[in-house]
Amino acid sequence: MGTKLPAMGNPATAKLSRSPRHTAAADTSARISLADALFTATRQRVLAQLFGEPDRSFYTSELIARIGAGSGAVQRELKRLAESGLVTVKRIGNRKHYQANPDSPVFEELCSITRKIHVLQ
C-alpha cells in the first residue's frame, strides 16, 4: 500500500487530473453557434419549421416527426410559443395546427433570424 498524493500545485500532474468539462469551460476559444446561444436545440428546430415556412400550418405529430425530438419537448415548446403569441393554434378536427403568427411584433425578425441561422449552418 502506498500513499496517493493529490495533484495540487504540480503542473505536470495538474493537467492529467482535470476533467474534460473543466478544461472546456476554461478554454475561452471554444465557440458555440449564435443559435445555440439564443435558443435550446428543440426550440431552434420548432422555430425553423414554423418561421422557415410561415405561410404554412403544421399539425403536432407532423412537427414532431420533422423535428426528430421527443413529443413532450416539442409540445412544451409549441405551448410556450402559442402562449406568447408567436404562434397561432387552430383546431381542425382532432388535430391542432400551428403556424407562425404574422401579427406578432417580432414575426419579421424571427423569419429573418431563421433564414440567417439556416445559411450559417
pLDDT tens digit string along 4-18? 544 444 444 444 444
Q: At residue 13, what are phi and psi to the nearest 5 degrees?
A: -100, -15
CA distance 19 to 7: 13
Architecture of domain 57-116: Orthogonal Bundle (1.10)
Residues 66-101 have pLDDT tens digits of 999 999 999 999 999 999 999 999 999 999 999 999
Closest among 7, 75, 10, 6 to 43, alpha carbons compared? 75
Enter the pTM of the model.
Answer: 0.69
pLDDT band at 37 (very low <50, low <70, confident <90, very high): confident
* DSSP state string for 76-96: HHHHHHHHHTSEEEEEETTEE
Sorted by where each begins, the domain ranges of the chain are: 57-116
DSSP 8-state symbol, 95: E
Inform me whether the pLDDT recorded for 19 exceeds 60. no
Instruction: Kindly tell me if the per-residue pLDDT of 103 is higher than 90.
Output: yes
Grid look-up 414575426 returns 107
